[in-house]
Amino acid sequence: MRHRSRIGRLDRGSATVLVVAAIAALLASGIGAMALVGAVRASHQAHSAADLAVLAGAMVLARGESAASACARATIVAAQNRAGLIACHASGDAVLEVVVTTSSGAPGLSPAVARSRAGPGA
């Protein structure tokens, strides 16, 4: 007959606790990585939308149309790229500057904001 020592009985189930802790750590890391990827994606989307919106608006200014028309066109292009235009300013030398925002898609993260300028000498 084989007798188990007291230490052996105390160790029973300790591997289960370690496996559960490892799984919890992996899940937490995965959730953190997903939030980071969402934030980076939103930042890239905001920058792309700002660049496209400002170029579209600057083309309107280059044709001699008003700053209001340029900002209206920039608003449309930003919306088509899933971004919201939060600021649009045209200077006297046909330079347009826009600021757009996009949602990060992850709860608890602030929206991504990007600024872009276009025009002669910008």
Mean pLDDT of 6-32: 82
> Exposed, middle or buried: residue 108 (CB in 10 Å: 0-12, 13-18, 19+)?
exposed
Helix 67-80 × helix 14-62 angle, to 10°: 150
The structural domains of the chain, with segments of one domain joined by +, span 6-118
pLDDT at 118: 92
Q: What is the DSSP string of 58-105?
A: HHHHHTT--HHHHHHHHHHHHHHTT-EEEEEEE-TTS-EEEEEEE--S
The predicted-structure confidence for 62-119, as pLDDT tens digits, reads as follows: 898 999 999 999 999 999 999 999 999 998 778 999 999 998 777 778 899 999 999 8
pLDDT at 6: 57
Residues 24/56, Cβ–Cβ less than 8 Å: no
The predicted-structure confidence for 29-60, as pLDDT tens digits, reads as follows: 998 888 888 889 999 999 999 999 999 999 99
